[in-house]
Each structure stands twice: as C-alpha cells, then as structure tokens.
Chains A and B, each alone.
Chain A
Amino acid sequence: MSRRVDAERCAEVIESLDALIEGDLDDSEAAAMTAHIDVCAACQRERRLAEELVVELRSMPSFEIPERVMQAVHRVARPSVMRTFLSFFEGAFRRPLPAIAAVSAVLFLVVVMTPWKSNSVPEYSDQEVLRATDELRLAFAYVGDITRRAELRVKERVFEERVAEQTVRSIKRSFQIIGGVGTTATGPAATPTPAVKGS
C-alpha cells in the first residue's frame, strides 16, 4: 500500500517538476515537493535530468519566430488542446519536460525547414549594403554582357552569311554579265568585302 502511495506521489511530483524548476509553485507546494524529492532517489534523478534539459534548452541559440508561426502556436496552445497534446506525449515519456522538449523540437523543425521569407532582417552597415548593390549591378552587367555578345555574334553571322556574302556574289555576277557584253570591268568586285567587314 505504501509503495502504491509513493508511486502516486512520485507521479505527481514528476508532473510538476517543470513548475518547480521554473519557480511557478507557491512556497508550501514547493516545500512539500522538495521534501519528497530529498528522500526519493527516483525523483532526485528525474529532477536532475529535468534541470539538465532546461540548461540545454536555454543554451541553444535563440531565433526569432515569425508572427504567423506564433499565431499558429497560440491557436494550438489553447488549454484543452494542449492537455490532449501533452497526454499523447505523456504515454511515451511519462514526463512533461521531455514532451515540451519534443514540442520545441517539432516547432524548431517547422521554423527551420519552412521556406518563408522572414520579415526580420539582420542589420548591415551602409558600406556592406553599398557593396552588395554594386555586386548585384556587376552581376547583371555580366548577364547583359553575355546576351550582348551573343546578340552581336548572331548579327555578325546573319549579316555576313545572308547579306554581305550574297551582296558580294551579286555584285560579282553583275560585273561578269557586264564584262560579257563588252564593257570593261576594272575589278571593283573586290572592294565591297572590306567595306562590309568594316561596317
């Protein structure tokens, strides 16, 4: 019988361990819990574990949670929903702190893995921003340069192959025809080529 009473008391203490560690209990409750923990090796172990977990969680890097995520958390964290949520974890862990740690982990994963655009922007110096804008202009200047080079090459090809060469052939043919009917041709057919290349 006394072992069953002890087990029930242990369960109560473990359930309120996080409140004890956070200092949320009133003095009499805290004293009663501490009195039990002082004589209960199992609860001492649980408190040590809970304290280590709290230290670990507090030493984790902080990150800013966007407003829309916080609103979602507040919606989820309504008391009745929260109870159901914790009771699910209670079965697995039998301790609320690990369950809270698990919830924190899930939230952290959601925050880290969700590809949203954060409204919070780190502060940069004017010089850093100026440099970044210069780099962006330079980057797009290179994009422009590539397209311009390609455009020039296409123009050159089209012009040389379809216009200049055909013009030269046409002029040569004209002089050949003129030469054929007896008019003197003094080789002007050779002149268009440099003129075309230079244009």
Chain B
Amino acid sequence: MSKISVFIGVLLVALAGSAAAQASSPGYYPIEDMGIFADGDLEVDVDLGGAMMQVAAGAMEEQDESFAEMVASLERVRVQVGKPGAVDPAGVTRKIADSKTKLESAGWHKIISVEEKTEQVYFYAFERNDRIMGLTGFVNDAGDEVVVINIVGDIDPRTLGRILANMGDFDLEQVMASFEQSEVE
C-alpha cells in the first residue's frame, strides 16, 4: 500500500509541476499579484486561456481570419479594468512602478511609454527569437481608470499591427456597451 501512496504522490507532484510550468510561460506576468484592485473595484475582468481560446478562435474564423489566427496562437489573455484610485491614487502609481521594475529586470522591453501628470501609459513586450511571447500593459488615468493587460502566447507583431490598424475606427465605449449587453443576455 505504501508503494501505491508513493506512486500517487509522484503523480500529484507531477500535476503541481505542470500547473507551475503553465504559470511560468515566458510571457506570463501575474497581474493579479500587483494588488491594484480591491474587491469591488473591477469593472472588467477577463481571463481566457486553454481550450476556450481555441474554440473562440474557431468561432471567429469566418468573421475575421487574421484575428482568429492570432487568437489561436495565444495561451492566455487577461484584462482587468477598474477604478481603484479614489482611495489611494499614489498607491496605484507606486504599484505600477514596482511592476515596471520587475518586468524590466525580467528582460521585458518597454515598447510604449507615456508619462504625464494625469496619465501614464506603459506597454512591455517579452521577446524570444524575434517573436513576441507576451505583452503586458498598464494605463493609469489619474486613478480614475486603471487598465492592466497581460497577453501570453506567440504574437506575430505584423498580425497584431494589422488587427490594431483595422480597429482604427473602433470606439471602446461601443465595444464595452456591446460586451455589457451580451453579459446581460
């Protein structure tokens, strides 16, 4: 019986190792651990990954082939949006600064940086073999709205650029409204 216990123990360790391996994908950044948002702060909390990503990519194929193609190569997409700054705007700025330091020391490259009194925008990319393996972005609109994004997976910069260019005329408010509508339904 003791051998069975050892055998099962080995399997459990293997499973735990597998979970840790997924969390430590090169483009992964633990945005949840930043501690920016408290309970009730979040207006948008997206966390998609695994098989669902493939299913969603398949569903999008007919409408937007290049978008579907890029989504299929992603491992995980997380977006958190909220208004945490009312309580402690300086704390939000400090936590984003800490994250910037961590990303830079972990080999991430800053690709967008806007620092103004009322707004800070940062976007970082993790590259390996000339491919983007992860994107992490922060927007701090004077604490009024904070956006944190982490996209993990093999991201082709040209495809991403094309998708964003096609989104040129999009209206975030409109997308948001459509998203909220689908949530209600």
**Measuring CB to CB, which residues of chain A are less than 8 angstroms from any residue of chain B?**
49, 52-53, 56, 60, 98, 101-102, 105, 108-109, 112-113, 115, 117-118, 121-122, 124, 128-147, 149-150, 153-154
CB contact list, B10-25 vs A, under 8 A:
10-11, 14-15, 17-18, 21
Convert B101-131 into 0s and 1s, putting 1 for each residue whose CB lies closer than 8 angstroms to a CB of A. 0000000000011101001010100000000
- The answer on a CB contact under 8 Å between B14 and A144 is no
B48 touches A136 (CB 8 A): yes
A153-B116 CB under 8 A given contacts A53-B4, A105-B11: yes
CB within 8 A of A146: which of B3, B123, B178? B123
Which residues of chain B have C-beta atoms less than 8 A from A56's C-beta?
A: 4, 7-8
Q: Kindly list chain A residues whose C-beta atoms are within 8 Å of the C-beta of B34.
A: none
Complex Cα spacing A99 to B123, Å: 52
Name the distance in Å between A124's Cβ and chain B's nearest Cβ: 5
Contacts of A53 in B (CB 8 A): 3-4, 7
A98 smallest CB distance to B (angstroms)? 6
Known contacts A49-B1, A132-B53, A141-B172; can you find 12 more A-B pairs with CB under 8 A?
A56-B4, A124-B52, A129-B56, A132-B52, A136-B77, A138-B176, A141-B170, A141-B175, A143-B160, A149-B121, A150-B113, A150-B121
Instruction: Determine if B31 is an interface residue (Cβ-Cβ < 8 Å).
Output: no
Do A138 and B4 form a contact, CB below 8 Å, given A113-B14, A147-B164, A153-B121?
A: no
B59 touches A143 (CB 8 A): no
**CB-CB < 8 A to A147: which residues of B?**
112, 123, 164
Query: Do residues B164 and A143 form an inter-chain contact, with CB atoms below 8 A?
Result: yes
Q: Is B55 an interface residue (CB 8 A)?
A: yes
**Chain B residue with minimal CB distance to A117?**
B54
Residue from the list A109, A129, A135 in contact with B14, Cβ < 8 A: A109
Name A's interface SS: helix
B142 at the interface (CB under 8 A from A): no
Q: How far is the CB of A142 from chain B (nearest CB, A)?
A: 6
User: What is the minimal beta-carbon distance from A81 to any residue of chain B, in angstroms?
Assistant: 23
CA distance A140 to B172 in the complex (A): 10
Judge if B132 is at the interface, Cβ distance under 8 Å: no
Is A138 a contact of B112 with CB atoms below 8 Å? Answer: no
A129-B59, A140-B167, A141-B172 known; A112 and B14 CB under 8 Å? Answer: yes
Count how many pairs of residues, one from A and one from B, have CB atoms less than 8 Å apart in the complex: 137
In the complex the two chains form, is B10's CB within 8 Å of A138's CB?
A: no
**Do A144 and B167 touch (CB < 8 A)?**
yes
**Closest Cβ–Cβ distance, residue B48 to chain A (whole Å):** 6
Are B116 and A98 in contact, CB atoms less than 8 angstroms apart? Answer: no
Within the assembled complex, what's the spacing in Å between the Cα atoms of A168 and B163? Answer: 38
Kindly report which residue of chain B lies nearest to residue A153, judged by CB atoms.
B114
Contact at A154–B114, with CB atoms within 8 Å? yes
Q: Which residues of A contact B48 (CB under 8 A)?
A: 132, 135-136, 139
Contacting residues, chain B, for A109 (C-beta < 8 A): 14
On whether the beta carbons of B8 and A134 are closer than 8 Å, the reply is no
Residues of A within 8 A of B11 (CB): 60, 105, 108
8 Å CB contact of A112 from B18, B116, B121 = B18
Q: Which residues of A contact B3 (CB under 8 A)?
A: 49, 53, 98
Chain B nearest CB from A94 CB (Å) reads: 12
With A134-B179, A135-B46 already in contact, the answer to whether A146 and B163 are too (CB < 8 A) is: no
Instruction: Please tell me if B60 contacts chain A, counting CB pairs below 8 Å.
Output: yes
Q: Which of A49, A98, A113, A149 contacts B139 (CB 8 A)?
A: A149
A101 to B8, CA, bound (A): 10
